[in-house]
Structure 1
Amino acid sequence: MSADPAVPAPVPSSVDGVDVFELGAEHEQVVFCNDHATGLRAIVAIHSTALGPSLGGTRFYPYASTADAVRDVLNLSRGMTYKAALAGLDLGGGKAVIIGDPATAKTEALLRAYGRFVQSLGGRYLTACDVGTYSEDMDVVARECSFVTGRTVAHGGAGDSSVLTAYGVFQGMRASAEAVWGTTSLSGRTVGIAGVGKVGRHLVKYLVDDGARVVVTDVHQPAVDAVVAEHGATAVGSTDDLVRAELDIYSPCAMGGALTDDVVEVLRARVVCGAANNQLSHPGIEKALAEREILYAPDYCVNSGGLIQVADELEGFSFDRAQQRAAGILETTRAVFELARTDSVTPAEAADRLAERRMRDVGRLRGVWLPAR
C-alpha cells in the first residue's frame, strides 16, 4: 500500500503454498498491508462481527514465513471471537500481525503507517497490544487511527492489560482447583509457569500471595531472575524440565501450541491452566488430556481478562469495573466444567458450545445470520 492514504493490498489466493481462502473459510475478512517506505508488512484477520466490531491485539513477531504469519493470525482471530463471546462482551474476534523483529524493525513511521492501515478498515477492527507491542506503541498508532485500545494511562487508556490477564488466569486456576481438589484455595499447591514475561510475572504474585509454591522457566533468563528475586519462585532450566516436574498445575504462559503429544505424555500435573493462546497443538489433544485425567481449563476462557480490560476503555476506563468483570472468569470456568460434566464432553468442547450459543442467540437479535454448529 502507499503510506498515505492507506490502501489495503488485495488478498492473495495463495501464500507460500497456503490457500488463504481455504484456511480462512470461517473468516469474514483477511487483509494484507505492505508499506515499502516504512517496511511495514501486516495482516489483519477479522473472524466474526456477529456480536460487534472485532477486537484483538497486534502481534509483532519475526515469523519464519508469511504462511506462518497467516496461520497464526487466522488461529488467533478465531480464538478472539470465542474469547469475547464467552466473556459476555459485545465484540467480535479479530487479530493482526506485523511481520518482523520488533527490536529492530519497530519505528514511529512504521507504527503510524500501521495506524493508517487499521483506520482504513472503518472500525470493523479495533487493535490493542499483544506479543511485541506495548501501550506506548498503541499511543503512536492512535496518532493515525481512531480504533485503538490498550493505550497508556496518560492517554486515557487501561495501560498494561497483562495485569488483568493474569488475574483472570488466577481465577481460572481457582475454579480448576475446586473441580479437582474441592477448594478454590491454591495454598500448598505447586504451580509451574512456562513464560514469565508480560502475564506470567503478574501471575506469580497472585499465586504466591495465595500460598502456592511456584516453579518457573523462560527463554529470557533476566525474566526468571526477576521473579525468583522478587517472589521467591524456584527456577528450572527448560520447559521440558518443567512439564516433567512434580506439579499440581501446569501453566503455559508463552507462545501457542504448548500442549503437544509429547508434553501430554510426560506431564505430571493434574490441571493445565495458562495464559497462552491456542495451547492445543492439534485437534484431539484435549481428549488425550482427558484420558490422562488432566483437567484442561480452556485458554480463551481463562485468559480473557486482558480483553475485558482493554474493552473497558470503550466505556471510559475504570480499573475497578474491569477487575470486577474479570473476577467473573471464576464463574465462567465453573460453568464450562459443569457443562463438560453434564454433556460428557471435554472442557474445550463445552467452552465452544457456550460461546457458540451466545453468538447464535445475540446474532439473531442483531439480525446477523450464523450457521448452527
Structure 2
Amino acid sequence: MTFSPRTYLDHNATSPLRLEVAEMVVRALQLPGNASSVHAEGRAARAEIEKAREKVARLVGAKAKNVVFTSGGTEAANLVLTPGFRRLGQAGPTGLLMGAVEHPCVLNGHRFPGDAVGIIPVDRDGILDLAWLKSHLEKGGTEPVLVSVQLANNETGVLQPVAEAARLVHEHGGLIHTDAVQAAGKVPVDIAALGVDAMTLSAHKIGGPKGIGALILASDQFEIGDKLIRGGGQEKGFRAGTENVAAIAGFGAAAELAQACLDREAGRLRSLRDEAEAQVRRIAPDALVVASAAERLPNTFAFAIPGLKAETALIAFDLAGVALSSGSACSSGKVKRSHVLDAMGVEPTLAEGVLRVSLGWSTTKEDVIRFAEACERVVGTLYKRKASAA
C-alpha cells in the first residue's frame, strides 16, 4: 500500500477538487463565447450553464429555473437575507431571526438593521430551541419575519430540525432560509420536503471549484428588491455580471457526482468517522466528543482533550502530516474560540481545545489509521511536555 505524504481531514473547509470536475472545468474554460451572446459560441457557453443548473437543482430537489448562481455560499446568503426578499406582491420581512450557531456569512452577512435581528438559542447539543422560536413568533404579531436556520453545522456536523422550523414560520406568515452548504451532497436534501423558501449552496464543499455557489428558491414567486450586484440582466436579474462558465460547469459536475454516490458515500464516511472517533476515545478516554448524542453529518466530528489547546494541537498534527481544523475556516485564519461552542455552553477551557475532523470523497481507511497514529503521538508528546513543565 502506498501512503500519501499527507492526510487531509478538513473537507468541511474545502473538499479537494474531483478529477472529473477538473476535467469539466478545463473543457469549459476553452469555450470562447459569452453566454449572453446570441451567436453559436455564446449559445455553447449558455448550454453549459443551463446543464449545470439542472444538475445543481436535482441535487436538492429544486427546479432549474429557481437556481441563481453566485460567487459562493457567502454571497448567496448575503443576497437573500434582506428585507427585500419577499413573495411577489407581498410585503417583505420586517425582522430577522437567526440560529445562534449559524455560519458567519449569516450572522454577519445579512442586511437587516441591528434592532430588527434576534438570535434563536440552542441546547447543549447545538440543536435549535423550537419552543423559543414558537413563542417568539406568537409574540411577534402580524409583521412577517425572515428566519435563517442552517441545515448542518460546519463545526460540529449537528443537523437541525429545519422542516419543523419551517412549519412554525409559515404558520405565522414568515419566510425561512436554510444554509445547506455543509449538508448538500452528504445527506439527502430536498427543498420541498424541508419546506423552506430559500436555500444556499457552495460547490467547493462537494469537490467542486472554489468561488461558485447558488441561491435556490422554492418557486418563481419570490423576488429580491435590493440586489447585491446590479448591472446587466444575468441570472434572471438576481445577480448581474458575466457568468463564470467554467466554475458553474464544475459545480454541475460535482453536484451530479455527489448525488450519484450519496447513499454509498454516507455509509462509507460514517463508518470511517466512527472509527476515527473511537480511536480518539481509546487514546484519550477523557476526551469530549461534541454533540455526540445528536444527529450529525456522517463525515464530521469535533473533539477536545482536556489540557490540549487547539492552536498547539493543530500545529502538532500538521507537522505529523495530518490536516485538521479548529472549527470554521472562514474567519481570520487564526485559532479563536468558537461562537458555536459558546452558544452550546461548552466550558471555555475545553472549547479552546476543540478540533474538527471532517472526511470526504478522498478519505480512505489508511487516512484514519494515519490520523490515529498522529493523535497518539501528539497526545503523548504534548502531555509529556505539560507534565515536565508542571
Bigger relative CO (Cα 8 Å, ≥ 6 apart): 2
Structure 1 length as normaliser, TM-score? 0.32
TM-score of the two chains, using structure 2 as the length reference? 0.31
